[in-house]
Structure formats: structure tokens, C-alpha cells
Amino acid sequence: MPNYSLGFAALRDAYARGTLTPAQVVHDVHAEIPRHAANPIWIHVLPREAALAQAQAVETRRAAGANLPLYGVPFAVKDNIDVADVPTTAACPAYAYTPAASAHAVQRLLEAGAILIGKTNLDQFATGLVGARSPYGACRNAVNAEYISGGSSSGSAVAVALGLVSFALGTDTAGSGRVPAGFNNVVGLKPTPGIVSTRGVVPACRSLDCVSVFALTCEDASAVLASVRGFDAGDIYARSDSAPTVPLGRTFRCGVPRSAQREFFGDALAREAFELALEKLKLAGATLIDIDFAPFIEVARLLYNGPWVAERYAAIREFFEAHPTDIHPVTRQVIANAQKWNAADTFDAFYRLRELKRRCDDIWRDIDVLAVPTSGTIYTLAQVEAAPLQTNTNLGYYTNFVNLLDYCALAVPSVFRADGLPAGVTLIARAHQDTAMAELGARLHRAAAMPLGATGFALPAAAPSATPTASDEILLAVVGAHLSGLPLNHQLTSRGARLVEATQTAADYKLYALPYAEPPKPGLVRVAMGGAPIVVEVWALTLAALGAFMAEIPPPLGIGTLTLADGRKVKGFLCEAYAVAGARDITALGGWRAYLAQQNRA
């Protein structure tokens, strides 16, 4: 990635200061792409000259006074979405065609001043949640290359996570815009069906397909949605986008599946991560309400164990019959199941869906938003290769029902598992609540204080807030191995400490990876200049518990007074200056978790 963040706010500031130009961003992105050549992220990268021509054109338009809300923002497009004069393959070379016009959504982005870098890899014909069903190769996870990227919008999510583009378009029928977001620690926005045109998109299930957005932050994803949403008379599934959004207050009712209905497929780390994410939802204002998840599960099963698979066959029927050997074997096997459903079966399924939707919609009387794990587990590439159908089915447990029920959804980075892999939460809301959901997603993202994708850059600090504590509690900021899910966190939880918030320090600190520490630990040092905000978690514990905790802290670490980003002062870990001589300076990564993620990728 370039040595600067491609987040919208960072680019906007750099352009305003004159320290960057769109042309320089294009140059830097093109220089970075070859460094990731071993990961098949791209199917087609536009020539540097073509991208530079776009940059020069938007600079000229800006100088002429044009309103360009996405001025100079580089983006990518999943290769089942048309770009004029660039082949569309849907990850099937024999299917390729070259469209004369761009998809409606792509054209709107170009008009808004965004710069297209290229087209990304996917599960063939957008059929899969694994990112491994492509003749161009299986995309690898941006955090740990042994694991899948998720699909079908695999390349789009990985390109954003690695800082190669600021955002990317994907598509989402069964979770393809959410699962890859969760696996790669980025935001995945799946809008209300029909509010973004799918004209110019190779259909998967045409009645359910949505164009989705991958971005580094919820605010960035919302900005993209604002540019692409709107009624398109050329799309037969387009709908009016005039329904009012119901804003959520500082507190809100958040439905979660009952504990017995939460499925993690034997993955204890995924279960622990979701429990921690629920605590962070509480920090964002949630009152958790257990709901009956059974009707949602049954709807999810209808998508592939029902006649909707025939819609995938209908989308490519002529090609499927004429070119069976050109289709990925697993994709062919999935779509071939269409032949066992008849018209009567289809109507029966429609009737059952209506019954289940009534039951699901009734639940919204008691909740404002539904929160589920973005995925119940994650698999290695080897595990998917050994059991391609079952692993894919498992990944759809929390995703397959959303479009069938006409809801919107937002995958938000929430925690890192104990093994260093990201594990996100998906927020689900009723149709047309996209804006309110994105605002809530931003609150959760900041409460979690996650780094931006796999870039190592930190999420901007939260706004100042009051931190409630009991009268006998002390606030303690932790920065390293005591963070949630890391090896020494038990030293807090075993003494009854509770997580209050995730935030950042003031920009007066440097963070170092201490050599020879076991388990690995960082050292936080206050400096007069050259510091940066560092991600911390603030825990509350009694004075007696703090005393016992401090007795376990070995030199050169100690407890001092830290200043947080909003100016509050709390107790927290500091390191004696002598110990960081010769230690690796990891300040630029913004936090210890980002450093661990980088080590896992190495």
C-alpha cells in the first residue's frame, strides 16, 4: 500500500493541503499493485496511462468548478459489473464480453470524480462465499494468507483491506458483500434491495441481487452509497428510495440470536469473539434483546435448498448448456441443482417465504436493529478445498436470509480473535434504514477501535465522551497483551474488571515492540514530538483489584497517567525509556493488534 491512508478523509485533507494529487495517488497505487502479484486479487488492471487520464480529467473538472464528492478517490469493481470497453468475465474466460457502456453504478461513481483502478476476482458467476471458485486463482486473506478471503466479492474486499484502493464495488445475493468484509477487517455495506441499480451487472439471482460497497470506514461506505443510490428506470427491480429513515438514539434495542441458536461450527474462538463484540455493542449504546432466530434460519435455508437456485441457472442458461466444461466444477454442481425444482415447487416456496417473513417482521416490534456474527467461523484454503460445499453452506448461516426478507445490512469490523484473525459483526435493519444503520455502524467501529483493514492505519479517534464508572472503580488503559482476547487479558477478567471502551491516546506517544518479551508486549512511551494516537482499551476495576494487578507487572513496564484522545486522563501502561533503545518503532501502525496482524501476514 502507499505510505499514507487511502481513507476518504485522509485523501480529502491531503488534496486540500496540496501534499497529494489524484495523479500521484494513481502513480503510487500502480506501483504497489505488483507487490501483491502472488495474490490473485485482480482480473484486469487498467493501464497506468488510462488511470492517469482519469486523474487528469477529474483535476480539470474540479478546476472548472464541478461538484465532485468522490474527487480523486481510487476504486475497484468486481468483474461481474460492466465497465465500458473493459472485458467482463464473471470469472469465466469463455463467458467474457466487452460492454459498450458502464454499469449504472459505475457511471455514477465516475461522474462523482472517483478513479477506476481495475476489476477484481470473484467466485465464478458470483456463486460462493469462499473466494476460491475462480480459474484466476483463489484470493488469499489480507490478514493471514493461509485463510480464505471470503466471496464471492473476494478481490474487492482484499484490494480495500490491503490499501490498494479506497473502496470497491461488489455484489451481494447471499452474503457476498458481507462475508469477505468480515474476513478482511473492512466495512461491507449491503443496501436495501433496489435502491442501487443493478443494470450492467451479470445476474446471479436477479430478483435478489444488490450492488454492495467495501470501504475502510462506515462513513466512506455511506459516501459511496450516496453517489450510487437512486431510482433507475432501466432496472426492472429498481424501487423508490423516498421512505423515511428512523434515526437511532444514543441507546437502542439490539436483537441477538438466543444463545442456543448461535452457530459457530465448533469454532470456540469465533464464539468468544462474538461475545466480546456484543460487549462493544453495549459500549455503542445497545440494550441486547434475545430473539427467536429460528424463522431467519429457515429463510436462509430456502436460498440454496429451494427453487431460488433455478434463478442462477436462468441467468446463464444458454451458456451453461453450451459450455459445461468451461464452468468451475463446484459452480456447475451448485447450479445444476436447478433441474430438480418445478414451477409448483417455486410457488410453494414463495408462499412459505411470505409466512416466514411475517414472523420475522413481527420481531421488529421489539428491536431497532439485529446483530449477528458476520460469519460463524472462518476456514483455511485447504479446508475449503477438502469440503467445498459444506464449508460454503456454513458461511451462509447468518447471511442468506437478508435479501429474501428485503432488509439492509452492514458488516462492521469489531474484534480480532485470539488467533489474530478478524471477526466482525453484521448489523441488519429493515428496508430503507441504510443511513441510520451506517451511523450506528460508525459508532460500533469506533467503540471497537479497530485498525483500517490490514493497512496498519488507525481509525480516527472517537469524539469526546463521558465514561461512567462506579464510585469505587479506577479506569485503566491497556495497550498490549492485556487487550481483549490476548494472552494476559485474564489478569484483568479474573479480578472482575470490565471493559468500558476502546479508544485512542492523545498524539503524544510512541509504541515499540519490546525485544525478548514473552508473551510479546509493546512499550508505550510519552514523547515531546513525533508521537501519534495509539489504540487502547479502557477497563474499570476496583482499587483493591488494581493493587493486586499491579503486583504482576514486570519491569520495564509500569502504571502511570495516560492522556486519551479526548483529553481525559486515566491510569495506564507506560514503559521506561531505557527499554526501547534499539526496539522496533511500531507507532505508525497505530496499535498492538495492527502489529500482530502484520506479523501474521509476514
Running along the chain, 602 residues long, what does each successive block of 10 average in pLDDT?
88 93 97 97 98 97 93 98 98 98 98 98 98 98 97 98 98 98 98 97 97 97 94 94 71 95 97 93 92 98 92 94 95 91 94 98 96 98 97 98 98 94 96 92 89 88 48 88 87 86 86 92 93 89 91 94 88 94 90 81 60
Q: Can you tell me the distance from the alpha carbon of 345 to that of 110, in angstroms, rounded to the nearest whole number?
A: 43
Give the contacts of 431 (CB within 8 A, at least 6 positions apart): 192, 193, 243, 406, 407, 408
Is residue 113 exposed (0-12), middle (13-18) or buried (19+ Cβ within 10 Å)?
Answer: buried
Give the Cα-Cα-Cα angle 541, 547, 553 (nearest 5 degrees). 100
State the pTM of this model.
0.80
Work out whether strand 115-120 and strand 42-45 pair parallel, antiparallel, or are unpaired: antiparallel
Residue 152 a catalytic site member: yes
pLDDT at 296: 98
The whole-number pLDDT of residue 464 equals 42
Cα–Cα distance between 272 and 338 in angstroms, integer? 38
Strands 569-575 and 557-563: antiparallel
Compute CA distances 552 → 315, 548, 579, whole Å: 63, 7, 18
Q: With residue 295 as reference, give the H or E element that holds it.
A: helix 294-304
Per-position DSSP letters for 391-424, written without gaps between them: HHHHHTTTTTTTTTTT-EEEEEEEEE-TTS-EEE
β-strands 74-78, 535-542: how paired? unpaired
Domains parsed from the chain with CATH numbers: 8-248+369-448 (3.90.1300.10), 473-601 (3.10.490.10)
Contact at 8 Å (CB) between 443 and 255? Answer: no
Per DSSP (E only), the strands in 464-563 are 473-478, 498-504, 509-513, 522-526, 535-542, 557-563
Single-letter amino acid, residue 364: W
Catalytic residue among 5, 102, 134, 152: 152
Which pLDDT value is given to residue 199?
A: 98
Catalytic residue among 5, 166, 176, 375: 176
Distance linking the first and last C-alpha atoms of the chain: 15
Q: Please state, in angstroms and rounded to a whole number, the distance separating the CA atoms of residues 183 and 130.
A: 10
Residues 6+ apart with CB under 8 A from 69: 112, 113, 223, 226, 227
Give me the pLDDT at residue 138, please: 98
The pLDDT value given to residue 35: 96
494 is annotated as an active-site residue = no
